[in-house]
Amino acid sequence: MIDLIRIAVCDDNKLDLEIVNYMIAEYVRCRSSLEFEITAFSGAFQLMDYVGKSDSGAKFDIYLLDMIMPVLKGIDLGKEIRMHDSSCHIVFITAADEYATASYDITASGYIMKPVTREKLFQILDGIVSRISCEPDESEKGITIKTKDGIRHIKLHTIMYAEYISHTIKFHIFGGETADTVTGSLTMSKLAEMINNDKRFIIPHRAFIVNLRYVASMNGQSFVMQNDDIVPVSRAALKETKKKYIEFSR
């Protein structure tokens, strides 16, 4: 179980920021069995500057972001955060219902309409905290493959997606790296068995396996990945893929 849950709150409206901070502090007092750390940011660039400093250890488990902020909108801030951390939980706070559906574009964990209520905030946080508390240590899980350079172990949480090309499987890894299996050494069906029951992964096409945490958006019959790669979704898998994508985004 995680020892400390770090929460970042970002809103350019000082009063709204204070209200949400107060509610989170109240939530923390009601959940005394858990350790929390809350950091408030009064602007998108202030948060991005903090997160972007690699030597600060600046990583949060939960981000609560105002959707409508000057210069850098909440949805764009969320995309930037995703580039630094694929496993965090992002919640958008918005005053306009029309912006709520945009939260699905970056696999957000939910959205809250303004004015923020104690009940809704607590409900969202309870769901996320429950998931965080039950998550296994991702850094220990991985698969071993055979490449032309030898045996290699790849951690599951670093795999953005895998694609089948001419009897080999190319793994696209977070950070821009790729790894290709030796021809015929691994099939897509075998790979699917290896990641079975891991809800992060989905098979949208017989030649692709995708980690939903790295999906930026779903556009028609394709996924747009966080690195701007396009992964097709087959017509046969479209309905089930949409369903799983939406469920994962909640």
Same domain, 110 and 149: no
Q: Which domain holds residue 152?
A: 139-249
Q: What is the pLDDT of residue 8?
A: 95
Same domain, 159 and 120: no
Q: For residue 42, give both structure tokens.
A: 């009064």
Q: What is the pLDDT of residue 155?
A: 86
Q: What is the pLDDT of residue 132?
A: 78
Same domain, 130 and 143: no
Same domain, 115 and 26: yes
Same domain, 79 and 102: yes
Same domain, 61 and 101: yes
> Domain tally for the chain?
2
Least confident of 87-96, 215-224, 234-243: 87-96
Per-residue pLDDT for 102 more than 60? no
Same domain, 128 and 144: no
The CATH number of residue 126's host domain is 3.40.50.2300
Q: Is 135 helix (H, G, I), strand (E, B) or coil?
A: coil
Contacts with 64 (C-beta within 8 Å, 6 or more apart), sequence order: 7, 8, 9, 10, 20, 24, 91, 93, 112
Q: What is the pLDDT of residue 55?
A: 46
| Average confidence (pLDDT) over 179-198 | 91
- Note the pLDDT tens digit of each residue in 10-35: 999 999 999 999 999 999 888 767 78
The CATH number of residue 175's host domain is 2.40.50.1020
Q: Is 151 helix (H, G, I), strand (E, B) or coil?
A: strand
- Note the pLDDT tens digit of each residue in 105-162: 556 788 898 899 999 999 899 888 887 776 655 555 789 999 998 999 898 888 999 9
Same domain, 59 and 100: yes
Same domain, 67 and 180: no
The overall longest dimension of the chain from CA atoms, in Å, is 60
Label residue 53 left, alpha or beta by phi (over 0 means left) and psi (-120 to 50 means alpha).
beta
Domain C-terminal end among 134, 155, 175: 134
Domain C-terminal end among 134, 169, 185: 134
Same domain, 127 and 184: no
Residue-averaged pLDDT of the chain: 85
Same domain, 75 and 157: no
Q: Which residue has the higher pLDDT, 20 or 3?
A: 20
Q: What is the pLDDT of residue 246?
A: 87
